[in-house]
Chain A
Amino acid sequence: MALPQAKEDALAARLESLTKPASGGWLSLARGQAEARLHEMGLPGRRDEYWRWTNPTTLISPEVTPAAPYKPTDEAPAFDAIDRVKLVFVDGVFDAAASDDPAMAGVEISRLAEAGQTDVHWAREMYGLLEAQGQSPVKRPLAALNSAYATDGVLIRVTGKAEKPVHLVYYHESETSDAILHHCVRVEEGAEFTLLESGPAAARFNKVLEVEVADRASFHHIRTQGRDHERRAATHIFARLGTESRFKTFTVTANGVMTRNEVVVELTGDDALAHVAGAAMGDGDFHHDDTVFVTHDAERCESRQVFKKVLRNGAEGIFQGKILVQPGAQKTDGYQISQSLLLDDDSQFLAKPELEIYADDVSCSHGSTSGAIDDTALFYLRSRGVPEREAQSLLVLAFLAEALDEIEDEAISEDIRGRLEGWLSRRMA
Chain B
Amino acid sequence: MLEIKNLHVKLEEEDKQILKGVDLTVEPGKVHAIMGPNGSGKSTLSYVLSGRDGYEVTDGTATLDGHDLLDMDPEERAAAGLFLAFQYPVEIPGVGNMTFLRTALNAQRKARGEPEISAGDFLKLIREKAKTLKIDAEMLKRPVNVGFSGGEKKRNEILQMAMLEPTMCILDETDSGLDVDAMKLVAEGVNALRDEGRGFLVITHYQRLLDHIKPDVVHIMSNGRIIKTGGPDLALEVENNGYADLLAEAN
Chain A residues packing against B (C-beta within 8 Å): 374-377, 379-388, 390-391, 394-395, 397-402
Contact = CB atoms under 8 A, between A and B. Distances in A.
Contacts, number: 82
| Top 8 closest pairs, chain A to chain B, by CB | A398-B94, A385-B78, A385-B108, A384-B104, A382-B74, A401-B94, A380-B90, A398-B95
Given A397-B94, A398-B95, A385 B164 contact: yes
A194 to B, nearest CB: 25
Contact of B73 (A388, A397, A398): A388
A390 B107 contact: yes
27 contacts: A375-B53, A376-B90, A377-B92, A379-B51, A379-B90, A380-B92, A381-B92, A381-B104, A382-B73, A382-B75, A383-B50, A383-B51, A383-B52, A383-B74, A383-B77, A385-B104, A385-B107, A385-B111, A387-B73, A387-B111, A388-B75, A390-B107, A394-B95, A395-B94, A397-B94, A398-B94, A401-B93
B206 interface: no
Nearest to A379: B52
A379 B74 contact: yes
Nearest to A375: B53
Contact of A399 (B94, B101, B160): B94
Given A384-B104, A385-B164, A398-B95, 8 more contacts: A374-B92, A376-B90, A379-B52, A380-B89, A383-B83, A385-B107, A386-B103, A398-B143
Nearest to A387: B75
A400 B101 CA distance: 20
A362 B91 CA distance: 32
A414 to B, nearest CB: 14
A384 B160 contact: yes
Interface in B156-184: 160, 164
B104 A386 contact: yes
A95 B216 CA distance: 77
A401 B143 CA distance: 11
Interface centre among B74, B77, B83 (most CB of A within 10 A): B74
B107 to A, nearest CB: 5
Contacts of B77: 383
Interface string B89-120: 11111110001110111011001000000000
Contacts of B79: 385
B91 to A, nearest CB: 8
A384 B52 CA distance: 12
Interface in B114-161: 143-144, 160
B107 A387 contact: yes
B86 interface: yes
B84 interface: yes
Contacts of A380: 86, 89-90, 92, 144
Contacts of B100: 381, 384, 394
Contacts of B103: 386, 390, 394
Interface in B51-91: 51-53, 73-75, 77-79, 83-84, 86, 89-91
B165 to A, nearest CB: 11
Contacts of A402: 94
A391 B92 CA distance: 11
Contacts of A383: 50-52, 74-75, 77-78, 83-84, 86
A284 to B, nearest CB: 25
B92 A398 contact: yes
A379 B107 CA distance: 15
B156 to A, nearest CB: 11
Interface centre among B51, B78, B86, B160 (most CB of A within 10 A): B78
A374 B73 CA distance: 18
B89 to A, nearest CB: 8
Interface in B205-242: none
Contacts of B84: 383
Interface in B35-54: 50-53
A385 B92 contact: no
A383 B49 CA distance: 10
A143 to B, nearest CB: 35
Contacts of B93: 398, 401
A377 B86 CA distance: 12
Contacts of A384: 78, 100-101, 104, 160, 164
A206 B101 CA distance: 45
B104 to A, nearest CB: 4
Contacts of A379: 51-53, 74, 90
Contacts of A386: 75, 103-104, 107
Nearest to A398: B94
Contact of B75 (A374, A385, A395, A401): A385
A409 B34 CA distance: 52
Interface centre among B53, B94, B103 (most CB of A within 10 A): B94
Nearest to B54: A375
A391 B64 CA distance: 24
A233 to B, nearest CB: 28
Contacts of B89: 380
A303 B67 CA distance: 57
A388 B79 CA distance: 13
